């Protein structure tokens, strides 16, 4: 990337790759934020996905239904509100590899985590611990520790944190298995991410769930950074539950309605749960009787009637995923992220370390970057990129996260990032 000739070649190569991309047209279905006379290089879909063009009309349609039909819109109109959450069910199940009755769109992520722990974290004197990775997303840490205290236990003795044992603080499968083998009989719940938010590492859900269940533990996954990013097979993984949010890779807008998976084997189980009328048996919900009888499946954990204005963007987004297909998206994602990683290795190796695993099967689209010069240099590069309209995000103390997402990013975006970082390094030198 040192001479003008190199640059022209790199640019031609990136454009050729983008021209050959069978999913290229999906970019036009998103609104890319402006920067100067052009567009941002938006590499922050891991934090807030971009707005699909169709979302605005979907919201206006619901406002019109409210205006024109009012209460009758529950049963009439293009997308009747009463069964509205069923409209997202099939595509949601397809996306996470679940049976339709195993998934439901409801609440927000941390709320769902609490609801699932109410049912699946049932500590006893002998078995009271929760196993997590060291340094999980703070909301998960707070939720988990508060559940431990709620049951009268102490996180100091009931929280088992698996530390990173690989470069970049990634965690090997062997390390998780060692902790499970050593402490399994006192672990009530294993709660790990599908993709770790800070490192971008993918966890082997099936392998973890099998080992945890062999030890008699319940197992749940937080898929905030995995859903819409990597292919999932939740039913086959055998986990008891999973939760995720919909505003990151699922592009459903800030604070969007989250998701929840409960394995089929619990569909009719008499599990303790926090109940609400929307989880009541649908055939008798409106007889308004005093006794709660849950609807079978994940629907039985619903509390309230769903927020239609927040579900409409999810419906639009899931339809895009269905059309693109997760297998094709993954194929493009592996290529896009590998391309960016290659540029960093070839041209920026003296400036940047990559914390994310190198093997594509152990990561999604995110790369976590650390500037070798330390935190201040990292902040300076991050701010330089921002001024150029190249948007990633910063995670304290020293990590820049960038995520080329296959629905709307291009190889050219990766090249713009690498060029800009290289120009910054050359100027600083």
Candidates 42, 137, 241, 301; binder of ligand PLP (CB under 6 A) is: 137
* Binding of residue 225 to ligand PLP (CB under 6 A): yes
* Binding of residue 230 to ligand PLP (CB under 6 A): no
* Binding of residue 153 to ligand PLP (CB under 6 A): no
Answer left, alpha or beta for residue 343, where phi above 0 means left and psi between -120 and 50 means alpha: alpha
391 alpha carbon, distance to own chain's centre: 18
Cα–Cα distance between 229 and 63 in angstroms, integer?
A: 31
* Binding of residue 140 to ligand PLP (CB under 6 A): yes
Tell me whether residue 81 or residue 197 sits nearer to ligand PLP (CB atom): 197
Cα–Cα distance between 110 and 126 in angstroms, integer?
A: 27
Q: Which residues pair with 400 in a beta bridge?
A: 369, 394
In the numeric block, the tokens 């996905």 are attached to 49
Q: According to CB under 6 A, which residues from 241 to 260 bind ligand PLP? A: 245
DSSP state of 368: E
- Min separation Cβ 255 and ligand PLP, Å: 7
Q: Which residues pair with 371 in a beta bridge?
A: 352
Tell me whether residue 222 or residue 240 sits nearer to ligand PLP (CB atom): 222
- Min separation Cβ 239 and ligand PLP, Å: 15
Binding segment (CB under 6 A) for ligand PLP, from list 103-111, 145-153, 295-303, 347-355:
103-111
Q: According to CB under 6 A, which residues from 256 to 295 bind ligand PLP? A: none
Binding segment (CB under 6 A) for ligand PLP, from list 58-66, 127-135, 218-226, 384-392:
218-226
Q: Is 144 helix (H, G, I), strand (E, B) or coil?
A: helix
Backbone angles phi, psi at 288, to 5 degrees: 60, 35
CB atoms < 10 A from the CB of 22, how many?
10
- Min separation Cβ 139 and ligand PLP, Å: 4
- Min separation Cβ 100 and ligand PLP, Å: 24
* Binding of residue 141 to ligand PLP (CB under 6 A): no
Candidates 193, 259, 313, 364; binder of ligand PLP (CB under 6 A) is: 193
Candidates 224, 257, 260, 351; binder of ligand PLP (CB under 6 A) is: 224
- Min separation Cβ 20 and ligand PLP, Å: 33
Residues across the chain: 429
- Min separation Cβ 137 and ligand PLP, Å: 3
- Nearest CA among 165, 154, 208 for reference residue 184: 208
Query: Which residues, including other chains, have CB under 8 Å from residue 422's CB and lie 6 or more apart?
Result: 1, 347, 348, 351
Cα–Cα distance between 421 and 417 in angstroms, integer?
A: 6
- Min separation Cβ 196 and ligand PLP, Å: 8
CB-neighbour burial class of residue 126 (10 A; exposed 0-12, middle 13-18, buried 19+): exposed
* Binding of residue 145 to ligand PLP (CB under 6 A): no
* Binding of residue 222 to ligand PLP (CB under 6 A): yes
Backbone angles phi, psi at 45, to 5 degrees: -65, -15
Question: Would you state the structure tokens that stand for residue 42, as one six-digit string?
Answer: 């938006």
Q: Is 245 helix (H, G, I), strand (E, B) or coil?
A: coil
* Binding of residue 227 to ligand PLP (CB under 6 A): no
- Min separation Cβ 114 and ligand PLP, Å: 10
Candidates 32, 35, 108, 271; binder of ligand PLP (CB under 6 A) is: 108
- Min separation Cβ 226 and ligand PLP, Å: 9
* Binding of residue 197 to ligand PLP (CB under 6 A): yes
Question: Would you state the structure tokens that stand for residue 56, as one six-digit string?
Answer: 């605005």
Rg (CA), the chain: 23
Interface contacts to ligand PLP, rule CB under 6 A? 108-110, 137, 139-140, 193, 197, 222, 224-225, 245
């Amino acid at each position: 990337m040192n001479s003008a000739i190199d640059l022209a070649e790199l640019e031609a190569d990136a454009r050729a790759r983008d021209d050959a991309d069978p999913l290229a047209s999906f970019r036009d279905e998103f609104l890319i934020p402006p920067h100067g006379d052009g567009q941002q290089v938006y590499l922050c879909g891991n934090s807030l996905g971009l707005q699909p063009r169709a979302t605005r009309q979907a919201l206006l349609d619901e406002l019109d239904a409210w205006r024109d039909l009012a209460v009758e819109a529950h049963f009439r109109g293009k997308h009747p509100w009463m069964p509205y959450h069923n409209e997202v069910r099939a595509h949601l199940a397809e996306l996470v590899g679940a049976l339709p009755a195993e998934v439901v769109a409801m609440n927000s992520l941390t709320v769902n985590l609490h609801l699932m722990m109410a049912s699946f974290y049932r500590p006893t004197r002998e078995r009271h611990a929760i196993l997590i990775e060291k340094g999980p997303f703070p909301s998960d840490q707070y939720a988990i520790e508060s559940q431990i205290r709620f049951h009268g236990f102490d996180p100091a003795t009931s929280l088992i944190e698996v530390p990173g044992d690989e470069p970049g603080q990634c965690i090997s499968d062997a390390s998780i298995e060692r902790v499970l083998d050593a402490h399994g009989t006192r672990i009530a719940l294993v709660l790990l991410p599908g993709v770790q938010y800070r490192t971008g590492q993918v966890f082997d859900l099936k392998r973890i769930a099998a080992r945890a269940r062999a030890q008699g533990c319940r197992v749940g996954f937080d898929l905030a950074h995995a859903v819409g990013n990597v292919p999932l097979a939740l039913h086959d993984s055998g986990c008891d539950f999973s939760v995720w949010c919909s505003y990151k890779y699922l592009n459903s807008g800030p604070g969007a309605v989250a998701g929840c998976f409960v394995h089929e084997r619990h569909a009719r189980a008499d599990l303790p749960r926090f109940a609400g009328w929307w989880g009541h048996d649908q055939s008798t919900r409106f007889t308004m009787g005093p006794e709660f009888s849950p609807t079978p499946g994940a629907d039985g954990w619903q509390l309230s009637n769903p927020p239609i204005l927040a579900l409409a963007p999810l419906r639009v987004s899931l339809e895009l995923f269905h059309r693109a297909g997760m297998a094709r998206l993954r194929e493009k994602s592996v290529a896009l992220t590998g391309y960016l990683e290659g540029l960093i290795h070839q041209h920026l190796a003296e400036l940047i370390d990559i914390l994310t695993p190198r093997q594509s099967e152990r990561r999604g689209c995110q790369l976590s970057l650390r500037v070798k010069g330390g935190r201040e240099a990292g902040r300076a590069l991050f701010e330089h990129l921002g001024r150029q309209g190249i948007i990633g995000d910063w995670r304290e103390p020293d990590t820049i996260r960038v995520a080329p997402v296959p629905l709307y990013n291009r190889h050219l975006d990766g090249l713009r990032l690498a060029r800009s970082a290289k120009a910054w390094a050359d100027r600083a030198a």
